Amino acid sequence: MKLLVTLSAIFTILSCSAQNSAQDALPPFQKVSKSSSEWKKELTPFQFQVLRNKGTERAFTGEFNDFKKNGMFVCAACAHPLFSSSTKYDSRSGWPSYYQPAYSNSVEVIRDTSHGMIREEVVCAKCDGHLGHVFEDGPKPTGLRYCINSASLSFVKKDK
């Protein structure tokens, strides 16, 4: 219930602004810092595996892969606004994909050298939860593909 109220408040704030671009920034916010046991109480086991242990879901299995409603995708752990549905596109990768974050301070990108690869990990700027990775093979206008785990996301529908 508390998360639902928080999500509603966030969406109200977001819907009051006109078209948001990644150049716009959210007002300053405090980082969320919790212990593993606190996160385990708040997240499902799978969300914990993805968000806190940098896991991933199997391709084409996530709730938001083929999702087409209008609104805001927020962090499943802390409700921080991450991606607008207006920037979502079908990358055919099997994961929800976006060409830019909702705001310039929605996410942070960190170099990831795990699994014998060099990639760019995407984390929530507020709670450092693992979201997915960003690649340079996306559409215009950014050329980026933010490939994000559905388990890392919650959705707030845009009111008409």
With respect to residue 107, please indicate whether it lies within any of the assigned structural domains.
yes
Measured CA to CA in angstroms, residue 106 lies from 66, 78, 84 at distances of 22, 12, 11
Lowest-pLDDT choice from 70-74, 81-85, 142-146, 156-160:
156-160
Provide the domain count of the chain: 1
The mean pLDDT of 23-39, rounded to a whole number, is: 92
With respect to residue 73, please indicate whether it lies within any of the assigned structural domains.
yes
Is residue 63 classed exposed, middle or buried when 0-12, 13-18 and 19+ CB atoms within 10 A define those classes? middle
23 or 67: whose pLDDT is higher?
67
CATH of the domain at 79: 2.170.150.20
With respect to residue 111, please indicate whether it lies within any of the assigned structural domains.
yes
With respect to residue 60, please indicate whether it lies within any of the assigned structural domains.
yes
With respect to residue 100, please indicate whether it lies within any of the assigned structural domains.
yes
One-letter amino acid of 158:
K
Residue 75 domain boundaries:
2-12+33-157
With respect to residue 21, please indicate whether it lies within any of the assigned structural domains.
no
Alpha-carbon gap, residue 152 to 31, rounded angstroms: 17
The mean pLDDT of 109-133, rounded to a whole number, is: 94
Task: Say what the pTM is.
Answer: 0.85
Alpha helices in the chain (DSSP H): 2-16, 36-42, 45-51
Contact indicator for 46, 139 with CB cutoff of 8 Å: no
The residues carrying an active-site annotation are: 147
Comparing CA positions, the residue from 70, 134, 140, 136 lying closest to residue 107 is 134
One-letter amino acid of 138:
G
With respect to residue 48, please indicate whether it lies within any of the assigned structural domains.
yes
With respect to residue 23, please indicate whether it lies within any of the assigned structural domains.
no
Contact indicator for 47, 151 with CB cutoff of 8 Å: yes
The predicted pLDDT at position 42 comes to 96
Alpha-carbon gap, residue 145 to 138, rounded angstroms: 4
